[in-house]
Structure 1
Amino acid sequence: MAELEWRTVADRFEKARNWWVHTTGPAGPHAVPVWGVVLAETLTFYGDPETVRSRNLASDPRLVVTLEDGERPLIVHGIAHRTGRASERPDMVKAYQEKYRWKHDADYLLDTDYAAQAQTYEVEPGKALAWEVTALDRWEISRWRAKAQR
């Protein structure tokens, strides 16, 4: 099994338009696509506090974040930490404005009235898994695990 560098994980998430956030709550597992940005190699995303994912994370902060790419899967297991309202995170607002620039993206960016209520999260990763087909048509699995002192 190959060693996966966290910088590689963060780069792939930064380049991806959509991420999937997987949580667990009273109704069971839940998965939802989100927009996300990487700030200082930290996966960050936001959501309305009333969404299923936000309610689930309030009661159980464990989550899995994945990319849409089924050919080169990338999976991060971790803990979501609430980091306040989007209106309190100008660094995040700016990062979203720079990343999401399609014609209709502005309707959903954090510089609107939505920023006053949107809850922001940072992911504390515990482990990451990735795999892809090698030149020998075999799956090569890579793993990253957080250091104990985190």
Structure 2
Amino acid sequence: MESTPIPDRPTFPNGYGVPATSDGLLRWDQVEPRLRQAQHYWLSSVRPDGRPHAVPRWGVWLDGRFWYDGAPTTRHTRNVEANPSVTLTLESGTEVVIVEGESHAARAEPDDLGARLAEAFDKYAASGYSPTADSWSGPDGGGLRVIAPRRVLAWFDFPTDCTRFVFGAGSAS
């Protein structure tokens, strides 16, 4: 279920030049296409001993969430099983999109979500990855995971358009 997030200004220390008004805030329809169109994402999680872990991931933004898959034995999957809090970022350091949320195991039936995910994952076909609609319907969900965003930070012209999008009852700090 997709929801439209509420935009406002993120909190930065004095001296960064982030405007105090809402003039110039990004709109969600300017940010979300970048999440859909990206080929490479960085997923950051926390190891059980508290050390950070970052890994590049393929995935798709669909229905207001990030969907990805992989073996349950990977370091990042073991991390999020213990602590589901994650950060997902795109590659650019100038057109920035940072998604904060939680990663959870999921399943997708082939006649609905599975078909739509397979179509979205088609962006990786030229790289040799072409999952089918039934790839995530087995008992273990084929390793499918979903990140539901709590908050997204974005800017394309720092500091004038720094925007925080809050989803649902997410924290605004």
TM interval, shorter chain, is 0.7 to 0.9
Higher relative strand content: 1
Please say if 1:41 is aligned against 2:67. Answer: no
CA distance in 1, matches of 2:28, 2:102: 16
> Gaps spanning 5+ residues in structure 1: where?
none
**Radius of gyration: which is bigger?**
2
Q: 1:109 pairs with 117, 130, 155, which one? A: 130
Distance 1:146 1:33 in 2: 24
In the superposition, the TM-score normalised over structure 2's length comes to: 0.69
Partner of 1:141 in structure 2? 162
The aligned amino acid for 2:166 is R
Inter-partner Cα distance in structure 2 for 1:85 and 1:48: 16
1:139 positional shift:
4.5
TM score, norm. by length of structure 1: 0.78
Note the C-alpha offset of 1:35.
Answer: 0.7
Provide the rounded CA distance (Å) in 2 between the counterparts of 1:60 and 1:5.
Answer: 31
Q: How many residues align?
A: 140
Question: Is the 1:86–1:119 Cα contact (8 Å) retained in structure 2?
Answer: no
The structure 2 residue matched to 1:121, chosen from 145, 156, 160, is 145
CA RMSD of aligned residues (A): 2.6
What are the Cα deviations for residues 40-97 of structure 1, in whole angstroms up to 9, with x where unaligned? 2221111111110100011111100000011111101001121038989343233212
> Which one-letter code corresponds to 2:165 in the other structure?
W
Query: Comparing both structures, which one devotes a greater share of its residues to helix?
Result: 1
Taking only the aligned residue pairs, the percentage that are identical comes to 29
